[in-house]
């Protein structure tokens, strides 16, 4: 006898980024050297003062449950940070701390969506969006975008996708996987449609501090008055403070949504790890030069990766303006046979690149965009150099 899997989980695709990263880890465990540009995870260790704060929290005995929706001091610190960074005010009660931004997204979808509701998601989109929306019973409506337009959804494309069932726009800015960023005026055009069509927005701003060339990031609820009541902002400690393993994410949302998300979390997971929350508190309230230093290192790597992609025959990439991903076009190399193996799509490209050249990247198809490959440049310059040498050899074969 085998236990039947529920219909909803049977249809669930596992995370392709984590699957590719697991494949790379498996090869490493076999003693092979792998140049891993698969997972979007800063290669930096969490800054020392944050780790010290966690050790101090353990020593002080902060080992018990916190409020299910998060440590009050941390909620206040998150609200204060949005006020300081973007001039927008939230009472601490409108902040919910969760087990990573992925969990925050799950809470947001479960709390606001009903079966059959439509959620507009511009593609390429981050791997977990469509799957998490489907888990909540709602329907992802994917809107393709063009490399030539920086993979940004135009106001016209957005309007065309809206039906009587549309309730939410899910927007990642700066974007994982494309590394491009909407300007304030581009966002305002989308915001006006959101207001006119009575929609609401989940604004995934997890890469807000990783923006290059002195560009100005615009936080979605600040774009127009009244938008704060229509927006659930998602953010977290993973990327900004190199804290992926600690699992701390958060939302800033209207009061009724925050209250219900806290209630949902109280039934599903209770509070996020108390020690991780103290670490995140130290991250937000402590010195911020670590953020600037890591961001400067990412900017240098971004320049290096852009140069390498431009030099490799047949590859192209939209300008990378934020986050730490290159989403490069490999269409000219599909239908060829590197190492005598036929490569006709981005998945085969990535699997063969890993097998033949020990270099891990993620297929565009996992992000809803065939013909592209995502490389994370949250890796050291030495790894990037070797990886791109190998990508050049692979497509040159
Ligand atoms: N949103 C985006 C766009 C991401 O790239 C990630 C990466 N993990 C997340 C959310 C989730 O982050 P976390 O590690 O905090 O769950
Ligand atoms: N966000 C990262 C990525 O896209 C981490 C992986 C994940 O959470 O799925 O690679």
Per-position pLDDT tens, the chain of length 397: 899 999 889 989 888 888 888 889 999 999 999 999 999 999 999 999 999 999 999 999 999 999 999 999 999 999 999 999 999 999 999 999 999 999 999 999 999 999 999 999 999 999 999 999 999 999 999 999 999 999 999 999 999 999 999 999 999 999 999 999 999 999 999 999 999 999 999 999 999 999 999 999 999 999 999 999 999 999 999 999 999 999 999 999 999 999 999 999 999 999 999 999 999 999 999 999 999 999 999 999 999 999 999 999 999 999 999 999 999 999 999 998 888 888 999 999 999 999 999 999 999 999 999 999 999 999 999 999 999 999 999 999 6
- Contact at 8 Å (CB) between 102 and 129? no
Residues 6+ apart with CB under 8 A from 257: 108, 111, 112, 232, 251
0.85 cut: is pTM over it?
yes
322 to 47, 209, 326: CA distances (angstroms)? 21, 8, 10
Helix (H) or strand (E) holding 156: helix 155-161
Phi and psi dihedrals of 270, rounded to 5? 55, -155
Residue whose CA is at the smallest distance from ligand 2 atom 4? 40
Mutate to test the pocket of ligand 2, among 14, 36, 37, 41 (most ligand atoms within 8 A of CB): 41
- All structural domains of the chain: 7-45+290-394 (3.90.1150.10), 48-285 (3.40.640.10)
Phi and psi dihedrals of 221, rounded to 5? -65, -15
Give the atom of ligand 2 at the shortest distance from the alpha carbon of 128. Answer: 9
Give the pLDDT confidence score for residue 397 in this predicted structure.
67
The two tokens of residue 150 are 């920086």
* Integer Cα distance of 384 and 390 in angstroms: 10
The angle, 0 to 180 degrees and rounded to 10, between the axes of the packed helices 346-357 and 381-396 is 110
> What radius of gyration, in Å, describes the C-alpha atoms of the chain?
21
DSSP letter string over 80-117?
Answer: HHHHHHH-----GGGEEEESSHHHHHHHHHHHH--TT-
- Per DSSP bridges, beta strands 316-317 and 325-329 are antiparallel
| Nearest ligand, CA 205 | 1
User: Ligand 1 centroid to 102 CA: how many Å?
Assistant: 5
pLDDT in tens, 45-71: 999 999 999 999 999 999 999 999 999
Is any ligand 1 atom within 6 A of the Cβ of residue 172? yes
Mutate to test the pocket of ligand 2, among 12, 14, 37, 40 (most ligand atoms within 8 A of CB): 40
Give the pLDDT confidence score for residue 180 in this predicted structure.
96
Residue whose CA is at the smallest distance from ligand 2 atom 2? 40
Give the atom of ligand 2 at the shortest distance from the alpha carbon of 100. Answer: 8
Number of H helices, E strands in the chain: 13, 13
Give the pLDDT confidence score for residue 48 in this predicted structure.
98
| Nearest ligand, CA 39 | 2
Helix (H, G, I), strand (E, B) or coil at 203: strand
Give the pLDDT confidence score for residue 337 in this predicted structure.
84
Is any ligand 2 atom within 6 A of the Cβ of residue 124? no
Give the pLDDT confidence score for residue 380 in this predicted structure.
96
| Nearest ligand, CA 239 | 1
Residues 6+ apart with CB under 8 A from 73: 281
Give the atom of ligand 2 at the shortest distance from the alpha carbon of 206. Answer: 1
Give the atom of ligand 1 at the shortest distance from the alpha carbon of 104. Answer: 16
* Integer Cα distance of 81 and 284 in angstroms: 7
Phi and psi dihedrals of 120, rounded to 5? -85, 125
* Integer Cα distance of 261 and 339 in angstroms: 51
DSSP letter string over 228-297?
Answer: GGGEEEEEESTTTTT-GGG--EEEE--HHHHHHHHHHHHHHT-S--HHHHHHHHHHHHS--HHHHHHHHH
DSSP label at residue 365: G
Count Cβ neighbours within 10 Å for each residue of 61-98 and write b for 16 or more, e otherwise: eeeeebbbbbbeebbbbbbbbbeeebebebebebbbbb
């Amino acid at each position: 006898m085998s236990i039947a899997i529920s219909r909803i989980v049977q249809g669930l695709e596992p995370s392709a980024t984590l699957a590719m990263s697991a494949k790379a880890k498996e090869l490493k465990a076999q003693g092979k050297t792998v140049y891993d540009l698969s997972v979007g995870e800063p290669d930096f260790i969490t800054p020392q003062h944050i780790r010290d704060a966690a050790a101090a929290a353990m020593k002080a005995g902060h080992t018990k449950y916190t409020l299910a929706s998060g440590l009050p001091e941390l909620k206040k610190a998150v609200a204060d940070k949005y006020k300081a960074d973007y001039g927008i005010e939230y009472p601490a009660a409108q902040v919910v701390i969760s087990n990573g931004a992925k969990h925050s997204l799950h809470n947001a979808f479960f709390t606001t969506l009903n079966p059959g509701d439509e959620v507009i998601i511009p593609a390429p989109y981050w791997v977990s969006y469509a799957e998490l929306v489907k888990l909540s019973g709602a329907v992802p409506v994917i809107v393709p975008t063009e490399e030539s337009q920086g993979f940004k959804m135009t106001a016209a494309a957005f309007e065309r996708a809206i039906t009587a069932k549309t309730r939410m726009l899910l927007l990642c800015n700066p974007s994982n996987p494309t590394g491009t960023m909407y300007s304030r005026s581009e966002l305002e055009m989308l915001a006006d449609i959101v207001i006119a069509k009575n929609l609401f927005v989940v604004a995934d701003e997890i890469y807000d501090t990783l923006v290059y060339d002195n560009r100005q990031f615009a936080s979605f609820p600040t774009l127009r008055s009244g938008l704060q009541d229509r927006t659930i902002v998602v953010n977290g400690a993973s990327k900004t403070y190199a804290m992926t393993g600690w699992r701390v994410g958060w939302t800033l949302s209207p009061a009724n949504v925050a209250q219900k998300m806290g209630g949902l979390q109280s039934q599903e997971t209770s509070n996020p790890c108390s020690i991780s929350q103290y670490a995140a508190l130290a991250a937000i309230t402590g010195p911020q030069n670590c953020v600037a230093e890591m961001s400067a290192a990412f900017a240098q790597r971004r320049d290096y990766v852009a140069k390498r992609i431009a030099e490799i025959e047949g590859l192209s990439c939209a300008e990378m303006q934020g986050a730490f991903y290159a989403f490069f076009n490999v269409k000219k190399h599909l239908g060829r046979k590197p190492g005598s193996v036929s490569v006709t799509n981005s998945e085969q490209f990535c699997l063969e690149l890993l097998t033949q050249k020990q270099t891990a990247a993620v297929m565009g198809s996992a992000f809803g965009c065939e013909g592209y490959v995502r490389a994370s440049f949250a890796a050291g310059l030495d790894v990037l150099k070797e990886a791109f040498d190998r990508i050049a050899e692979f497509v040159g074969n």
